[in-house]
Structure 1
Amino acid sequence: MTSLEKDTTVVVNRPAKSNATGMVENVLEQFNTAADIINLNPNIRRILSVTNNEIIIHFPAKMDNGDVQIFTGYRVQHNNALGPYKGGLRYHDTVDIDAAKALAMWMTWKTSLAGLPYGGAKGGIQINPKNYSQAELERITRRFTYALGENIGPEHDIPAPDVNTGAQTMAWIADTYMSTKSPSERSTHQHVVTGKPVGSGGLEGRDRATGYGVYLCIKLWAEKNNFPLKGKKYIVQGFGNVGYWAAYFMEQDGALMVGVQDAFASIYKEEGIGVKDLFNHINANEGSVQNFPGASEINKNEFFALDCDLIIPAALGNQITEENAGDVKAKLIAEGANGPTNVEGEKILLKKGVTIIPDILCNSGGVITSYFEWLQNRNGELWQLDEVMEKLEKKLGANFNDVDDAAKERNVDMRTAAYILAIERIEKAYVQRGIFP
């Protein structure tokens, strides 16, 4: 490797900045609220308030025209007290070290709440994938994987798809990582990532798992609160994998999708928007909901104020804030995205009597089925779709009931209850094992 081709990798181990804002501030406030309630051991609080490792990589990749561009990639490993780090890789302009830190912390709470033998990590590349060809994205992904080196691994840190990444991305990562191993080792490293194509070791049903989990949480809440879904109006922010599948299953129960927002437009149709019709329209119109027949385009700032019964934010973080929470008319918010509601916005919503099914519970279907895929690869098994969905429904249903029971028992909101359960499990592991040395 020449000096021109050499990757620059920086691994640091430091606490979050005191002036960190945005999602890091949100997740720490959520964590500290729950920690105060349970009187969390102060030593364990210190450990969980910071990340274990923050990896920043600047790496080159060759473009189709022969030019070389330098990209910045991130991988933050928050905590691994319960098992290997686990979390997605996203390709988006908003990816930076603070976003990765916040998302990694949320993954720690999510995997703990789900009862999985994982810790939390997150990362990605600061990039808009729409600006690059498929061949360029493959080269960027493979070079990023090579640069990460032993910072990922099937028993150490297991990436998965996230915003703007998918099964193909995971296949490139798995192939690149396995190619660095000896021929005798390659077959034992397939589970370095989850969310792979089914033909490359992926799990049937993984594509719909997160969205189905969002729907399932809504359904369970509705059953407990005499809120039949048939005829209920809902809106979805983000109509990617999570938003589409959540809407698909909601439609099966007779709910009516009246509004959808993506990065290009916000649309509304009082009579309801057909889920498959919108899906087909998006595929035929460069990935946008814009100009959907029969729907009106509205100002993006008015989207969360639409007259509806529930909201599924399934895009990015910090979307429902103190600036628009007061306009929300829905009775329920089911967080398909990570951190879509900030702390100040949540205070307003709770005061209005709005229920929020928190992200670490609501969108955990993805990481639960990631665990299933990891087991499938590790054990050389092949799971069928019906088996996967049955196991997911059983696992997520039990988790939902635990959170609902804890919220009622402690007289707290669902997010605080979920954090309490997640933190207590990690605290127990530290208490039992002690702190080295």
Structure 2
Amino acid sequence: MVEVAELNKKAHKKPLKGMMENVMNQFNHAADIINLHPNIRKILSITNNEIIVHFPVKMDNGEVEIFTGYRVQHNNALGPYKGGLRYHPTVDIDAARALAMWMTWKTSLAGLPYGGGKGGIQIDPSKYSTSELERITRRFTFALADNIGPEHDIPAPDVNTNSQTMAWISDTYMSTRPPAERSANLHVVTGKPAGSGGLEGRDRATGYGVFLTIKFWADKNKINLENKKFIVQGFGNVGYWASYFLEKEGAVLVAVQDAFGSIENQKGIDVESLFNYTKSNAGSIVGFPIANDTSNDTFFGIDCDILIPAALGNQITKDNAHDIKATLIAEGANGPINVEGEQILVENGVTIIPDILCNSGGVIGSYFEWLQNRNGELWQLEEVVAKLDKKLKESFNKVYEYSIKESMDMRTAAYCIAIERIEKAYVLRGIFP
């Protein structure tokens, strides 16, 4: 069930403190630059709705456990709330708020008819059986049922959730609807299995998007990715697919970190071999025979050209930012760099492809799946990839050109574009009453 490898065991236990502070600093910085209307700033500075549910679930041994689940709906000025559900010990209301706000900026930047939402359950899924996780997911869905919906709030996979999780949610939600409405609610979630209303290629969309933004940046700067060294924190869905496509482009994976440890081989780590090894090693990269185990504490300082943090938030801080040797960071995770860490990186001349652009392939793929379900269509993989390429290239070019024109970093440019689109929607519609 646990599909997303996140970070070393020590960090695995830390709460994601400071994420709300980070996203608010980023928002206010961009809002100042574009002179965002004070009234709209007030609206965007808070969430629309915050749902906390406590629910009981019977375990395999017959005992009942009480779980806490969250769903934060930040803003829906552009359309239904959209965002993932994660299962992780660090899930709390503050983390959900920050992640929901990031989703608002991400969907706006991508030009999608969505707002932002996020949530999950405060749980370590590795401690539960598959049958227990199914019951937990279905009970959580039942508790949330009146607060989600295909035209209201559309969850998706996130950390430690996957297509199976979405299939359980979809089935449970449809079961709560009147019989005549059930088939019309298939798109209540995205990221479903391809055989159950899912989109071909949705599994790779986020990682593929990370790769594409790196490729677009390299092309803009006339850089050949052949033999460029890269390291990845997190070898789950995002980290694996980003690595897969980068390797196809001729880049060389030299180090990986996951929830269990870190490995390095400066001569190169074969992506597919490592992926197959993790499947037979309880999801862990540790002990991979064609690499050496290395220290978690010095991972970010490994010699490389490109760093892809694809785990949790706040991994790069003032404590380790100075160690980074990469000249490009592509944020596969949401908020992997805190404000202090970013200041150091910018001063050191490191380019950062921001999360709301870099990992937006996932939500773009989710939009395609939502449309597919809504219209009763089935799209082929080639069609999905072509649409993803086009959409991401449009977003990247807008951000890159804005950053050059206004002499600012790509994160600030991305925020300015995203917030201006939402501001325009409020200006045109007005504020009720």
Partner of 1:94: 90
Partner of 2:222: 226
Q: Does 1:428 align with 2:412?
A: no
Partner of 1:63: 59
Note the C-alpha offset of 1:21: 5.1
From 175, 178, 185, the equivalent of 1:182 is 178
Partner of 1:315: 311
Partner of 1:202: 198
Partner of 1:304: 300
Normalising by structure 1, we get a TM-score of 0.95
**C-alpha distance in 1, partners of 2:232/2:145?**
38
Partner of 2:166: 170
**C-alpha distance in 1, partners of 2:277/2:196?**
29
From 388, 406, 417, the equivalent of 2:413 is 417
RMSD over aligned Cα atoms: 0.8
**Deviating more after overlay: 288-297 vs 129-138:** 288-297
Q: What secondary structure does 2:297 align onto?
A: helix
From 153, 156, 159, the equivalent of 1:157 is 153
Deviation per CA, 1:143-162: give whole Å up to 9, x if none: 00000121000000000000
Partner of 1:135: 131
List runs of 5+ in structure 2 lacking aligned partners. 1-15
Partner of 1:325: 321
From 257, 278, 288, the equivalent of 1:292 is 288
**C-alpha distance in 1, partners of 2:391/2:266?**
35
Q: What secondary structure does 1:189 align onto?
A: helix
**C-alpha distance in 2, partners of 1:94/1:159?**
19
Deviation per CA, 1:106-155: give whole Å up to 9, x if none: 00000000000000000000011110000000000000000012100000
Please identify runs of 4+ aligned residues in structure 1 that moved more than 4 A.
Answer: none
Partner of 1:377: 373
Q: What secondary structure does 2:169 align onto?
A: helix
**C-alpha distance in 2, partners of 1:172/1:209?**
21
**C-alpha distance in 2, partners of 1:375/1:286?**
36
Deviation per CA, 1:6-30: give whole Å up to 9, x if none: xxxxxxxxxxxxxx95100000000
Partner of 2:103: 107
**C-alpha distance in 2, partners of 1:164/1:149?**
21
List runs of 5+ in structure 1 lacking aligned partners. 1-19
**C-alpha distance in 2, partners of 1:149/1:399?**
33
The AA in structure 1 aligned to 2:214 is: I
Q: Does 1:22 align with 2:18?
A: yes
Q: How many pairs were matched up?
A: 418
From 392, 396, 400, the equivalent of 2:392 is 396
The AA in structure 2 aligned to 1:199 is: G
**C-alpha distance in 2, partners of 1:381/1:179?**
22
**C-alpha distance in 2, partners of 1:294/1:393?**
33
Note the C-alpha offset of 1:294: 2.7
CA contact (8 A) 2:17 2:95 kept: no
C-alpha distance 296-21 of structure 1, shift in aligned 2 (>3 A): closer
